[in-house]
Amino acid sequence: METLIPATLFMIASHVVPGVPAIRSSLIDALGRRLFLSTYSAVSIAALVLVVWSYRTADPGLWFYFPTAEAKAFAVLGMPVPLFLLVGRLTTPAKTAEPTGIYRLTAVPGSFAVLLWTSLHLASLGGARQVVLFAGMAAIALFSLIKNWSIASPARRRSGILPFSGILRGRQSFVWSEIGWSRLLLTAVLWAVLLLLHPLVIGPDPLAYLH
C-alpha cells in the first residue's frame, strides 16, 4: 500500500491536471498540441503501469470493509446499467445540435457510466488495494463528469445528469427508436461475456455472488 496510494494519486493527477481547461490551454500554448498530446499520453501510460505494478505488489490480505452478500449480488445485477450507458455513448454521435438517443437520458452518459461502474465495484469489494484502485478511478470519472457537464450545451443540459431525470421533469422526451433493441441486445451480450471472462481474466467469479 506504500506505493499503491501514491501511484493512484499520481494517476488521478495525470488525468485531472491536464483536464482543467485553463491548464490544458496553457500547456498547449507552451508545448504545442502535438508535443502536449504526446507528453500527456506518455505520462498517462506511465501512471497506469505504475498503478498496475503497485497493485500487484500490494498486500491482498488487507481489508477496509467486508461487503455483504446482498451488496455483491446488487453489484452484479446492476452492472448492465453502466454497460448500457457506455454502449449508448460509444454508438451515438455526441456533437449534434439537439441531444439524441442516450443523450436524452443523461447529458453525460460516458462519465456517469464509469462512475457507476466503479461505485458498484466499491460496493462489492472491500480489499484495501481494490478500494484504493477503484476509488481512484471513481475520482477520475467524477472529475470527467463535472467537466463534461460544465461544457455541455444548454440543449444537452435539459437531459440532466442522473439518467431519466430530465425526462421525469418534463424537460426532455424519450425516443426509443433513437436507442433501439440493437443497443439493448449488445449490452446483454457484453454483460454475459464479462460474466464468463471475469473469473478467467481478472479472478473473482461474479456469478458466485448470485448463489
One domain, residues 7 and 110: no
Asked if residue 65 and residue 7 are part of one domain, the reply reads no
Same domain, 206 and 124: yes
48 and 151 fall within a common domain: no
| Helix boundaries (H) for 20-164 | 21-31, 33-57, 69-78, 80-90, 102-105, 109-124, 128-151, 154-157
Distance CA 8, CA 137 (A): 9
φ/ψ of residue 63, rounded to 5: -130, 140
User: 132 and 194: one domain?
Assistant: yes
User: What does the pLDDT look like over 65-98, one tens digit per residue?
Assistant: 999 999 999 999 999 999 999 999 999 988 777 8
* Pairwise CA distance, residues 82 & 47, whole Å: 25
Q: What is the pLDDT of residue 94?
A: 80
Q: How many domains does the chain have?
A: 2
pLDDT grade for 119, boundaries at 50, 70 and 90: very high
Phi, psi of 127 (to 5 degrees): -60, 140
Q: Within this chain, do residues 50 and 66 fall inside the same structural domain, yes or no?
A: no
Q: Exposed, middle or buried, 42 (CB in 10 Å: 0-12/13-18/19+)?
A: exposed
**Mind listing the pLDDT tens digit for each residue in 96-115?**
778 999 999 999 999 999 99
Boundary (domain end) residue, out of 38, 58, 78: 58
pTM above 0.85, yes or no: yes
Residues 116 and 168 in one domain: yes
* pLDDT the model gives residue 93: 86
pLDDT at residue number 1: 79
User: Please, which residues bridge with residue 63 across strands?
Assistant: 127
Residues 73, 119 within the same domain: yes
- Residue numbers of the domain that contains 100: 60-210
Over residues 31-42, the pLDDT tens digits come to: 888 998 999 999
